[in-house]
Structure 1
Amino acid sequence: MVPDTAFRGLRHHPESLLIYTAMTGLLPAIVLCGRYFYSRRVIHGYLECAMSRDMGDIEGFYTKSPDSCLWVAVLEGKVVGVVAAVGQQKSGGAVELQRMSVDRSCRRCGVGVALGRKVLEFAAAHRYSSIVLGTTAYTTAAHQLYQRLGFRCVGVTNGYVTQDARWSLLQRIFYRVHHHHYRLDVPNSKIISNGQH
């Protein structure tokens, strides 16, 4: 009687079918809204963390140590890009490329390559053995930029959790990203003394 009542009887109750159809269409919308909400929450948490560290005192953080530096790309008086290098002695003499960002209107114009080369020159000048970076970017252009600079992908973490994040169960369900790990060995970076390729 249960299957008969629950399923076969539906044809006699079109209003129930209408409700179930509406709910079925509503479920994907609820899931997408949940993903947006929790992605936004995680990104804002990441930005707060960045502001409490290096980005809250850029000059103090990047001038305190000779093992770190930050470059800004300016075009017609407007900041159009930024990148940072932070020495990671605990990682076997690697420098980490961080904060790579280029204004959307200036992408594919060479700004990212120019900023990336600054990090490569910094690593060579400070005798780092390698440069590492991590990115959660899904755009192919970001990955092509790193590959163009000579980086190779050495791994991918599925379900990446940002540093210092306090994660709820819902954040773990809705905020799912791949974190790509890239590495470049400095002797193979094709940099010569004047910084030209």
Structure 2
Amino acid sequence: MRAKVSRRLVIDASVARAAGGEDAVHPLPKQCRDFLKTTLSVGHHVVLTPAVSSEWKKHESGFAMQWRTTMVARKQSLYVNVPEDVELRDAIDGASATERDRRAMLKDAHLIEAAQATDHTVVSLDEQVRALFSAASTRVRALKRVVWANPGREEEGCPRWLERGATPHLHRRLGARRTVK
């Protein structure tokens, strides 16, 4: 099933690392595999910056490596060179409650920068950094537009969301009120 609108998704290496093969039965590897398969079949694009590509190559599972190769072959991968956004990083630095929080957000700031350069969508399993970015969004306005999806959380319904066009619903944006389990 092809989406009417193809979205450009920044998919974190955490998803690539967790994606299991066709025989995976445990929930997380299966959910990540199904998310990647749905992304491919629906026709969305994966955004690859040098930093994202490097993380993928270092951490991806065998299934994720095959998936990425297929995405490239089908021209569903978008290579972009996104410069470091000093203003964003300074704002994140100023919005950090602790040094540990600051380091965690700056480590993943490249995901936000890539999302801002494309369709404002990050896909990641990292709920801790999601919560940090969400809290920081009250002071860092640029974060408010970023949609964050976690395919490892069944209640988020990511495959169905992809099939319906990966619309940037308000409830998926950083800063939206939610309860984290």
Q: Scaled by the length of structure 1, what TM-score is found?
A: 0.30
Q: Which has the higher helix share?
A: 2
TM-score, structure 2 length as denominator?
Answer: 0.32
- Report which of the two structures shows the higher radius of gyration computed on alpha carbons: 1
Larger RCO, structures 1/2 (Cα 8 Å, 6+ apart): 2
Normalized per residue, which structure has more strand?
1
